Amino acid sequence: MANPVRESFVSQAEPELLEKLRQIAKDQGREVQAVMDDALREYVERQQEGGGRKHVMDAFASSLEEFDSLYRELAK
């Protein structure tokens, strides 16, 4: 897999948030940059789609169609 072109930028974050990001990267055996790329990508997708990720929302809609009566019974 080819390495994508990268552009540097400077930002700041709360120390606790950065520590959690570093811990996630360590736990997954990944670089902090890779975890941050995933987080940014998911955020941008949610903002552009106006809600949840499309495949999640499609699965939710399908579930509602299939199990509507069950959900209504459970809600009682």
Per-residue pLDDT, 52: 62
How confident is the model over 59-70, as pLDDT tens digits? Answer: 988 999 999 899
C-alpha dist (Å) from residue 42 to 39, 47, 51, 62, 71: 5, 9, 11, 22, 29
How confident is the model over 9-47, as pLDDT tens digits? Answer: 899 999 999 999 999 999 999 999 999 999 999 888 878
Q: Is pLDDT above 70 for 51?
A: no
User: Do residues 35 and 21 lie in contact, with contact meaning Cβ atoms separated by under 8 Å?
Assistant: yes
pTM of the predicted model as reported, rounded to 2 decimal places: 0.59
Q: Which of 66, 20, 40, 46 is nearest to 28 (CA)?
A: 20
User: Do residues 21 and 32 lie in contact, with contact meaning Cβ atoms separated by under 8 Å?
Assistant: yes
